[in-house]
Amino acid sequence: MKLHHTRYLISAFTTPLRLNEPFDEIVDFDRRFRGILRRHLAILAWWSILNILFGLLALFFLHGQLYYFAMMNMVWGVINLLVAMLIFYHAVFRHFQKGNAFERFEAQRHVEKLLLLNIGLDFAYCFIGLLLREHGLIAGINLPDLWCGFGWAVIAQGIFLFSQDVWVYRLHAANFEKAAPFLKEVIMDKD
């Protein structure tokens, strides 16, 4: 990982979002939108890195359900880190850099819709995790520690991702709400 990537992970996590500052139409909306998106990606990346490190430690020190729990979390960490990197590339370097003011608002609404989809997927992860865990509790099943460990890992990921997605959705909705007076003014001027 290059040094500027590490700096990004630290600065995006610690930079204030300034959601309560006075609104200056597009510039502030866009700045807050990018700040929320960067914070979301930084938290997801840190979560992923911690899962990967926990999995690597588990290779040497854990066994049983905890071992499988850590292994599944390590796999989730790799997947989530790849997702965070792809979204970062898409949002920061390509798609969200272009467009006029209304395309920016539409992009933000698109992100909100994707977050709602993710929230539904997070519930599905928890449900699937419960099924895996329950499968591991069946008497006579092969590798019950694997099933239970994987189940608990999927539940943990689902709960974390759910709480993060709900929090970020609320931040985006608050940012859009601050832009509502400007949008109403622009729409009224066109009529």
Residue 173 pLDDT exceeds 80: yes
Q: Which of 76, 83, 92 is CA-nearest to residue 36?
A: 92
Residue 117 pLDDT exceeds 60: yes
18 belongs to a structural domain? no
Residue 8 pLDDT exceeds 70: no
Residue 112 CA to residue 171 CA, distance in Å, equals 10
Domain that holds residue 87: 3-12+26-190
pLDDT of residue 18: 65
114 belongs to a structural domain? yes
Q: Give the Cβ contact number of residue 72 at 10 Å.
A: 23
**In sequence order, which ranges of the chain are alpha helices (DSSP H)?**
3-14, 25-61, 65-88, 101-136, 144-190
Residue 44 pLDDT exceeds 60: yes
Please state the domain count of the chain.
1
pLDDT of residue 70: 94
pLDDT of residue 80: 93
Residue 72 pLDDT exceeds 90: yes
pLDDT of residue 38: 86
Average pLDDT for 164-173: 92
Residue 101 pLDDT exceeds 80: no
With pLDDT > 90 as the criterion, what percentage of the chain qualifies?
A: 42
88 belongs to a structural domain? yes
Lowest mean pLDDT among 8-17, 111-120, 150-159: 8-17
21 belongs to a structural domain? no
In this predicted model, which residue has the larger pLDDT, 184 or 148? Answer: 148
Q: Which of 109, 105, 122, 92 is CA-nearest to residue 179?
A: 105
50 belongs to a structural domain? yes
Average pLDDT for 32-49: 89
95 belongs to a structural domain? yes
Residue 31 CA to residue 10 CA, distance in Å, equals 18
34 belongs to a structural domain? yes
Instruction: Report pLDDT digits (tens) over 122-155.
Output: 999 999 999 999 998 888 888 989 999 999 999 9
Residue 183 pLDDT exceeds 70: no
Q: Contact 89/171 with Cβ under 8 angstroms? A: no
143 belongs to a structural domain? yes
Q: Which burial class, exposed, middle or buried, applies to 178 when counting CB atoms under 10 A from its CB (0-12, 13-18, 19+)?
A: middle
pLDDT of residue 87: 83
